[in-house]
Amino acid sequence: MKYSKYTARKPDDTGFIHYPNEEHETWKILYNRQMEILPGRACDEFIEGLELLELSADNIPQLPDISNALAKVTGWGVAQVPALISFDRFFRLLADCQFPVATFIRTREELDYLEEPDIFHEIFGHCPLLTNPAFASLTQTFGKVGVGASKEERVYLARLYWFTVEFGLLGGSGKHRQGRRIYGGGILSSYKETLSCLGSEPVHQPFEVNRVLRTPYRINIVQPVYFVINALSDLQVLGESDLISLVREAMKQPMYEPLFKALD
């Protein structure tokens, strides 16, 4: 497992995590600048989820509060984890409707990008949509399928997770929108990605599961390609499909050419 330079903060005997003021200020910076640019870009369901979780700029939220709010609507919760965990633990937590949250926040030097997910990415980026039954259902399915998958199959599952849960876009029309909106947590928690993803430069592909499973990605760049679903209910349908069979079929076929430069 890759070594992390961050150390997760531990709760006291009451379950409360005491973050220093500087880290609350970092949360405030991240929160406020996302809230400035997400209206008109984030999907309705994300905004509704933010309201249900009662997130604010003032303080880094406490995990029991998030778990209690999620439990009321979809039965989910969050689990405190170290900065990095194994795939086995990751999938088992998702299968049990527990979203892993590393209890550290990025430094000011890494406001725009860090390779490992911090509490802002996990709580702000992902947890609001865990109030949505379709999104929550697919996330649990990833866990259930991932627990029994081989190492090679997990690579393909990770790719599907990347292009949906992390970097998915929503098309069609909704209650308060016309055109494309963001539902992926990797975008919603990233200032640069939020501004880039709906522009003319990246490629927007209609979501087709076989193509998604065979499309390369890199974690350390603004994404050059996004896949667009019609509605969040499509995620429910995807989660009810035989994912492992779809993965095994894709494994028999060649990968698509990447839309990014190869690493040296």
Q: Which residues contact 141 (CB under 8 A, 6 or more apart)?
A: 238, 239, 240, 243
The answer to whether the annotation marks 18 as part of a ligand binding site is: no
- Report d(CA 233, CA 51) in Å as an integer: 21
Question: Which residues does residue 249 pair with via DSSP β-bridges, in sequence order?
Answer: none
In sequence order, the 6+-apart residues with CB closer than 8 A to the CB of 99 are: 76, 77, 78, 79, 93, 122, 126, 127, 130, 139
- For residue 166, say whether it is annotated as part of any ligand binding site: yes
Measured CA distances, 121 to 100, 105, 115 (Å):
11, 9, 11
Find out whether 24 is annotated in a ligand binding site: no
CB 6 within 8 A of CB 101: no
Residues placed in the known binding site for Fe cation: 121, 126, 166
Annotated binding site: 121, 126, 166
